[in-house]
Amino acid sequence: MYTQSLDTDPLANDPKEVSDKRELELKKRISEGYVVEPRDDMPERYRKTLIRQMSQHAHSEVVGMLPEGNWILRAPTLKRKSILLAKVQDEAGHGLYLYSATETLGVSRDALYEDLLQGRAKYSSIFNYPTLNWADVGVIGWLVDGAAIMNQIPLTQCSYGPYARAMVRICKEESFHQRQGFDLLNEMMQGTQKQKDMVQDAVDRWWWPALMMFGPEDSDSIHSEESKAWGIKKKTNDELRQTFIDVTVPQAETLGVTLPDPQLKWNETREHYDFGKIDWNEFWRVVSGSGPCNKDRIGVKKKAWEEGAWVREAAMAHAMKSKGR
Amino acid sequence: MTTITDTSKSSYLFSLTIRLADSALIASQRMSQWCGIAPTLEEDIALTNVALDLLGQARHLFSYAVDLDGCRKDEDQLAFLRDPHQYLNYTIAELPNGDFAQSCTKSFLFSTFSQCLWVSLLDGEDSTLRDIAAKSLKETDYHIEHFSRWFVRLGDGTDVSRQKILKSIDYLWPYTAEFFGNDRTLSNLEGLLHINTGKLQADWVNAIEDVFTEAGIDLPSDSDFMSTGKYGVHSEHLGHILAEMQYLQRSYPGGRW
Ligand SMILES: [Fe+2]
Ligand SMILES: [Fe+2]
């Protein structure tokens, strides 16, 4: 998982590094379907925008291992344990794949990771919510991987080759995760009343944060247009969010859960579901570090990285010694 | 599948199958604790792979145990509804991960032993165990490859890593005696499986010796400590592992998962 349009502009204060002319040329070629490859000469602004988006995406994959990882040891059956382990492993693979793709832009993975650990980099807001019962694992698969797919499928056509190719592979696995999540919930919904209550509780907590995964409304989106012109954003946040809601409401009905939005209603004229107001204050609070789990998530990753330092040093030392022998 | 008419023999076969299944499951549960916090992202993926392999082995073995037993409905009843004293894993599997050195040493010692066991089961007359052994062997070879490399890297790497490896050997070595100590289950199955613990031990020492040498570490001498997890008498750690692992099945009986 998961790209999210966070729309803070790291270039806002940068001096213009290349001429407008070069940027315009590339935008024109991209609009004609040109796919940019690492060897291509690219304007600094394009490169930096890609680095920001792709590294945020990579960070989201690796931080995203934690909320579900929280339930691996407690998974209720061996089959579910196996599915969950494999899923979390997939997310690590996505992270690795995306870090490698980002490295083609001339940044090192260690430097990017350091940005994450020092709180300088952002990642998807969704992973700053806690997983409180087993049904959360299913709801994350169903809604969070579901929203991720919605976000990412257009990116399989994005203008940067390595990113587009990474997305093709990743989307395949995300849709697998989504079906497994739905299946988990479907099973629980045929179980005891307590289990059904668990599912509803999880849906109540994850629905709105899942909608926030698509980023701010188009009217508040700082450089949505810019990203569109660069060919690294194909659809607007609001378009994607609406598609997600339209697809998800019938699935909720199939499951037999209630989505926690009294204003959710089919609109004949628009041929879309209307929905209630998203709490954007909460979104910005969580994105900027004050969500329920921000400190814990980064804290866990930081501790692991620090505790692993002697291991990485030993591996280096051994490699050097072996070379000398 | 070999038909066993002798009921006591059948119950020993069930015990052995459960012992192997429990050892794999508990080792997998321990390995899963690394998920998300390994020293590198690559290692995170590798350790999760090992956890998944072990879990797969446990599931094959549980499913055979269900066939042998007849009273248990499925693998999950065996995994989630037995108490600690009914678990028959080798004690080393339940020991805490400790630091990365301890986890690598533990997995290295245990996977080399598993390899010896799987190899000897290939010569037995139980065709189901033979099939499981053959499949597990391939995975186990990879685990040994992975952890023996770390064992050497850390043993040879820096002063810090070497000290940690030595410390981990000091802690873990005494638990390896249980692999070969007096074993009424295996001796009662001798006619069926032909496993000789003396030979098993010689094979195992042979398997680990070169790696110890490469890491520049002497094989420790034996202690007189003997752990007894394979008979259901465990360390304090297993109770905590099961409390966590079995929590949902125990708290919400009759559920569908
Ligand atoms: Fe992912
Ligand atoms: Fe996923």
C-beta of residue B117 within 8 angstroms of C-beta of residue B180: no
Output the pLDDT for position B2: 45
pLDDT along chain A (325 residues), means of 10: 53 54 88 92 91 96 97 98 98 97 97 96 95 98 97 94 96 96 98 98 98 93 78 90 98 98 98 98 93 96 98 97 89
Q: Is A318 on the interface with B (CB under 8 A)?
A: yes
> Is A71 an 8 Å CB contact of chain B?
no
Are residues A317 and B62, on separate chains, in Cβ contact within 8 Å? no
> What are the Cα distances from residue A96, in Å, to A61, A89, A218, B48, B149?
9, 11, 31, 14, 22
Cα distance between residue B111 and residue B107, in whole Å: 6
Smallest Cβ–Cβ distance between B35 and the set A88, A95, A314 belongs to A88
Tell me the domain boundaries of chain B. Answer: 7-251
Whether chain B has a CB inside 8 Å of the CB on A10: the answer is no
Q: Is B122 on the interface with A (CB under 8 A)?
A: no
Q: Does the pTM of the predicted model rise above 0.90? A: yes
- Report the chain B residue with the minimal C-alpha distance to residue A183: B257
Contact A78 B58 (CB under 8 A): yes
Going A283 to A285 to A288 to A289, the CA torsion angle's sign is negative
**Confidence at B141, pLDDT banded by 50, 70, 90:** very high
In whole angstroms, what is the distance from residue A113 CA to residue A123 CA?
Answer: 11
ipTM for the whole complex: 0.96
The rounded distance, in Å, linking the Cα atoms of B26 and B94 is: 6
Per residue in B143-166, pLDDT tens?
A: 999 999 999 999 999 999 999 999
For residue B3, pLDDT over 50 is answered with no
* Mutation target among B158, B163, B244 for the A interface, most CBs of A within 10 A: B158
The letter for the amino acid at A216 is: P
Predicted pLDDT of residue A211: 98
Q: How confident is the model at residue B72 (pLDDT cuts 50, 70, 90)?
A: confident
Q: Which residues surround ligand 1, an ion (CB under 5 A)?
A: A 1, 61, 91, 94
**pLDDT exceeding 90 applies to what percent of chain B?**
93
Query: In the predicted model, what is the mean pLDDT of chain B?
Result: 95
First and final CA of chain A: distance in angstroms?
43
Q: Are strands A272-274 and A265-267 parallel, antiparallel or unpaired?
A: antiparallel
Whether residue A175 contacts residue A168, with contact meaning beta carbons closer than 8 Å, is answered with no
In CATH terms, the superfamily for domain B7-251 is Ferritin, core subunit, four-helix bundle (1.20.1260.10)
